[in-house]
Structure 1
Amino acid sequence: MTSPSLGRSLELHYINGQPDGMLTAEMFNWTGHVLLVPRTQLSQALARTEARYAGIYLLLGEKEGEPLAYVGESEDIGSRIKSHDTAKDWWSMAVLVTTAGNKLNKAHVRYLEARLIEQAKSVGRTPLANGTNPPRPTLSEADVSKMEAFLENIFIVLPAVRVDLFIQRTRPTPTVAPTAKAPSAEFILETKKHGVKARAVLVDGEFVVEAGSTARLAWEGVGSEMTSYGQLHQELRNEGVLQPQDTVCVFAKNYAFKSPSAAAAVVNGRPANGTVEWKTLSGQTYKEWEAQQLSAVPADRPRPAENRLYGNP
């Protein structure tokens, strides 16, 4: 019997009280410690104790208008990042990942570095400035298990501090239909004018456009490519999720969008209201379907705790 996924508690601490300044992120019952620091506050960050620990680090920024990242490791993170301060001028944010008590050793951080580079390249969202793929060092079976568990938590914490280069939004296609989890709803979007037709399912709160769906070949309009959805359309083409085929693009993989409107915009190649453009197989718009789901939620509200305690109505 498969156990249900458990929730996680994450604590964010804004060190100087500013939302765009240094912050730390920790999870209950995890020894890991994440420090996010803007380059403008690097000297304050490197004066902190954890900056002298062993760990892995990310450098995030842009080069020639395109996002870029670098993944590294060191037994003394602060010392290594100092060398990057002059050698690499494109980055604007650093992320330091260490442990309480400095429990990671050189082999551990080399393993984490190799795995993070593998994951970033597999996702393909952000190009890496790393020249090579370092091999995974040899670890004991127990240490590999510990590092994989450590990575699992890293992949939960980093998106919470706006670091998304490791988020995998493509979804595997179930190979055995009878055992696949049934979707909670299915939707169709068809725009005959542009010859596109897409199918999506809502599963576990994710709006997933299925492989084989079609989308516009390019984003519509001159100068509009820099909109967030226009960038997403281009990003999916760069990643190979959208593959050109004659006059349209075809989804090569299932892809989980953040919202129906994001999915509709990419399919149509223009800004779109997904709540009215996606429709169920019976013809309901997403908006109508959602309203129907909400109407089924019980309206009774629980009585205040003091009333329950004393038996008051």
Structure 2
Amino acid sequence: MSEPVRVGVIGCADIAVRRMLPGFAADADVEIVAIASRSLEKAERVAERFGGRAVRGYAELLDLEEVDAVYVPLPAALHDRWAEAALDVGKHVLAEKPLTTNATRTGQLLDLARDRGLALMENVMFVHHPRHEAVRRMVADGAIGELRALHAAFTVPTLPDTDIRHRPELGGGALADVGLYPLRAALHFLGPDLEVVGAELTRGRGREVETSGAVLLRTGEGGTAQITFGMEHQYLSRYELWGSAGRITVDRAFTPPADFVPVIELDGGGGREEIRLAPHDQVAATIAAFVASVRAGAAPAEETLRQACLLDDVRKWAV
């Protein structure tokens, strides 16, 4: 039996406390050994709940020999600095999305991880939920004929004015925070040869970052993807796959709770059908994927880099 992966957490962000630390604590293949914050008192409060040693300062955590891998839930603009620092001292990295704020830095870090024989993984959790693999199998089996188009949306209610996602210097904005999900869904189902052929990013009144947007993409074979996103909207998390002989709809697609019963709606030649799957914890699935990558000394990188390139292309189109 393999030893647990010894994880240190760089920062006590909400997603770390609410989702990832409970997931780490519940996984027998993970041991939480250290939690760092700029405030020792905050690190101590979090460590008291989840275990591990409280550390003041992120660099101090990286100095700990007992840490095999780090989880980085800092604001987006800080990911590349601390991911690179961790890789430089031989530690595997799971970083919140987006991995960095541009494709050049993403490529550099992925190259560094590969050269060091380390796992560098971006925390896009929905791709680890088995519902989406089930959808891919249905498409491959011809359930909707030839896949022609994807329509996807992820929108969330208005965030507080103080939320870091409103701050451009921290890498805020709707594109990287919520737009990344439907964009990744397009990559997941239509493949890496997608190109951006139109984009619009819109700022809400008084905001310094985009708060909504829409993107049109196409494949070399004529498939299309239309994605919509925003963080001043009613909640919506959905994609549809349109084929020559039917349609697949997936609701609550990107952030389902662990006890949610996943449904795949199929409208085809035989009428409408609801396919219900067993509930699945995509946080636990993501952690399991990271543990496997750590033990293999590498993590899948192609979609992470292609996603970063497409995010850059959207920004260029929308200027």
TM-score clears 0.5: no
Q: TM-score, normalised by structure 1?
A: 0.32
Higher relative contact order, structure no. (Cα contacts within 8 Å, ≥ 6 residues apart): 2
Q: Greater share of helix residues, 1 or 2?
A: 2
